[in-house]
Amino acid sequence: MNFYSIADIIIGLEPKHALLRQRCEPYLCRKSGVTDYVISAEAGGLAELAAQHPEVTEEVLEYLHVGTLFYAGLIRHGGLMLHASAVVVDGACYAFSADRGVGKSTHTALWLREFADRGAYILNDDKPALKLANGSFTAWGTPFSGVNDISVNRSVPLKAIAFVERSQTNSIERLTAGQAIPRLFKQTVRPAEEALMNRLLDTVQQLVKTVPLYLLRCNTEPQAAQLAYQTMRQ
């Protein structure tokens, strides 16, 4: 069995297929025999996932299934997965979340161009881990990084989150906790187990208390990135 450190959690895992093995390789660690928990690709839920996605290969099914199992374990460790593209500027992480196809990666690509001189890079382009520790949240790269596999095995303080909507004009507004929580739950893994859901609720409540959340309506012009950055950096 191999051992991986993902979001500062030691996972015991034995990938069967190349996709999962290659994505997890940057997270290999040497703490042999010491794990926070073990993930088995044979764990319950694989058959249901295969039925939902009959078009995908066994290799992709393993990757998706293990990702779901990891994020369930992450909840137990004070974290959550956010379907988002997370960009880092000046040592702070800004996460942009939206339904698939809306343009979150398109928006963070603007940040890479606009703030290249400030060392901008993508921490994770699909499913970063957000984890609470010592009263603040940190964003982490994970092996679960979307089709383009853009991710870095690194942790960065989480500065702000924005939910992205397409618009002809650019605007951004701060969300209340009541406005933000349904959007957060839409873009994360929602466990069926009651104890896990209660733990996730606690983490989400801490998140909306400590991290500013915004609604960003934007086009694909550079001004969208400038507006978002000037607002969210405050």
If pLDDT is split at 50, 70 and 90, which confidence band does 51 have? confident
Instruction: Give the pLDDT score at 31.
Output: 65
Instruction: Give the pLDDT score at 24.
Output: 95
Q: Is the pLDDT of residue 15 over 90?
A: yes
pTM summary value = 0.92
Give the mean model confidence (pLDDT) for residues 4-30. Answer: 93
If pLDDT is split at 50, 70 and 90, which confidence band does 36 have? confident
Q: Is the pLDDT of residue 33 over 80?
A: no
Phi-psi region of 149 (alpha: psi -120 to 50; beta: other; left: phi over 0): left
Topology of 79-232 in CATH?
Answer: Rossmann fold (3.40.50)
Q: Is the pLDDT of residue 114 over 70?
A: yes
Q: Where are the domains of the chain?
A: 2-76, 79-232
HEC-encoded secondary structure of the chain: CEEEEECCEEEEECCCCHHHHHHHHHHECCCCCCCCEECCCCCCCHHHHHHHCCCCCHHHHHHHHHHHHHHHHHHHCCEEECCEEEEEECCEEEEEECCCCCCHHHHHHHHHHHCHHHCCEEEECCCCEEEEECCEEEEECCCCCCCCCCECCCEEEEEEEEEEEECCCCEEEECCHHHHHHHHHHCCCCCCCHHHHHHHHHHHHHHHHHCCEEEEEECCCHHHHHHHHHHHCC
Give the mean model confidence (pLDDT) for residues 155-176. Answer: 97
Instruction: Give the pLDDT score at 201.
Output: 95
Give the mean model confidence (pLDDT) for residues 40-63. Answer: 82
Give the mean model confidence (pLDDT) for residues 39-67. Answer: 83
**Lowest-pLDDT range of 27-31, 137-141, 186-190, 211-215:** 27-31
